[in-house]
Amino acid sequence: MATDKKSFVLYADLITNIDHLTNEEKGILFNHLLEYVNDMNPVLTDRVVLSAWKFIQSQLKRDLRKFEDVKVKRSDAGKESARLRALNKEEQNPTKSTSVECVQQTLTNPTDNVNENVNVNVNDINNKSIKTLKVFKQEILDCYDSCINYFPDDLVPKGQKEIYNWLDAIEKLNRLDKWKFEDITAIVAKTREDPFWQKNFLSIAKLRTKDKEGLQYINVFYNKFRIDLNSKNNENKRQYIAELTKRYPNI
């Protein structure tokens, strides 16, 4: 078993592969399974039990490969998220005067505005191509971390640009569209539970895009979210939806 892997999956259809075994043989098989996943290197000598074990062993190995792939992807995503957090801290607390000097020298037009959440990439100034990097607040990063838990690993952003797009969407949903961070997370969670939207809601950035009727998808999902929860006999959920309705009366 892999390091830090404390559990494994047994599939229901396994019963068809062991129903020919006696109870004693099933006990031997189960004990062998536990020793195997605990890296005790057990050896089976009973050929009948061994034939049933081979099927289980193959499935465990397939699951282990999937686990290792997911582990690598999550590690890469975590490193990129940590890098962005470090970048945010550096931009919020600049220690070099060159950044300020470049901003002052570049923005000579009195009509130019500097947003407190934007910093200038000094390296790009030398190339006469000024690009801005938005500094995301901790609340936005926390909302992002919560939301990605509802997406499978193959949909979670891996590269800087994709992560930036998701963070930017969350920031604008809050700042421009006035959605609270906890409500964004709740709508993401509920929408990803829906069988249809699991296949069609693949990115947080979609929340700010519009459907054919010109309605932002976060509003589409919110309306469905509200209807679904109101249809369930759950007082806490109904109270939460009532609170959401008060916050967003125009939707």
Confidence (pLDDT) at 62:
83
Give the closest residue to 150 by CA, choosing from 215, 225, 79, 82: 225
> For the CA atoms of 95, 96, 100, 105, what is the dihedral angle to 10 degrees?
180
> How many angstroms separate the CA atoms of 143 and 213, rounded?
28
Confidence (pLDDT) at 12:
83
Confidence (pLDDT) at 225:
73
Give the closest residue to 163 by CA, choosing from 77, 71, 74, 69: 77
Residue 168 identity: D
Q: How confident is the prediction for the chain on average, in pLDDT? A: 75
* Residue 248 reports pLDDT greater than 60: no
pLDDT band at 191 (very low <50, low <70, confident <90, very high): very high
* Residue 103 reports pLDDT greater than 50: no
Give the closest residue to 10 by CA, choosing from 24, 38, 30: 30
> How many angstroms separate the CA atoms of 21 and 18, rounded?
5
pTM of the entire predicted model: 0.46
Give the tokens for residue 122: 């000094």
Give per-residue pLDDT as tens, 70-83.
777 777 777 777 77
Domain boundaries, the chain: 12-69, 138-251
Give per-residue pLDDT as tens, 142-156.
899 999 999 998 899
Give per-residue pLDDT as tens, 194-234.
999 999 999 999 999 999 989 999 999 988 877 554 444 44
> How many angstroms separate the CA atoms of 84 and 137, rounded?
11
* Residue 179 reports pLDDT greater than 90: yes
* Residue 105 reports pLDDT greater than 60: no
Average pLDDT score over residue span 13-21:
84
pLDDT band at 50 (very low <50, low <70, confident <90, very high): confident
Q: Which residues contact 34 (CB under 8 A, 6 or more apart)?
A: none
Where is pLDDT greater, at 160 or 97? 160
> How many angstroms separate the CA atoms of 241 and 68, rounded?
40
> How many angstroms separate the CA atoms of 193 and 59, rounded?
27
Give the closest residue to 204 by CA, choosing from 150, 158, 241, 159: 150
Average pLDDT score over residue span 23-46:
90
- CB count within 10 Å of CB 225 equals 23
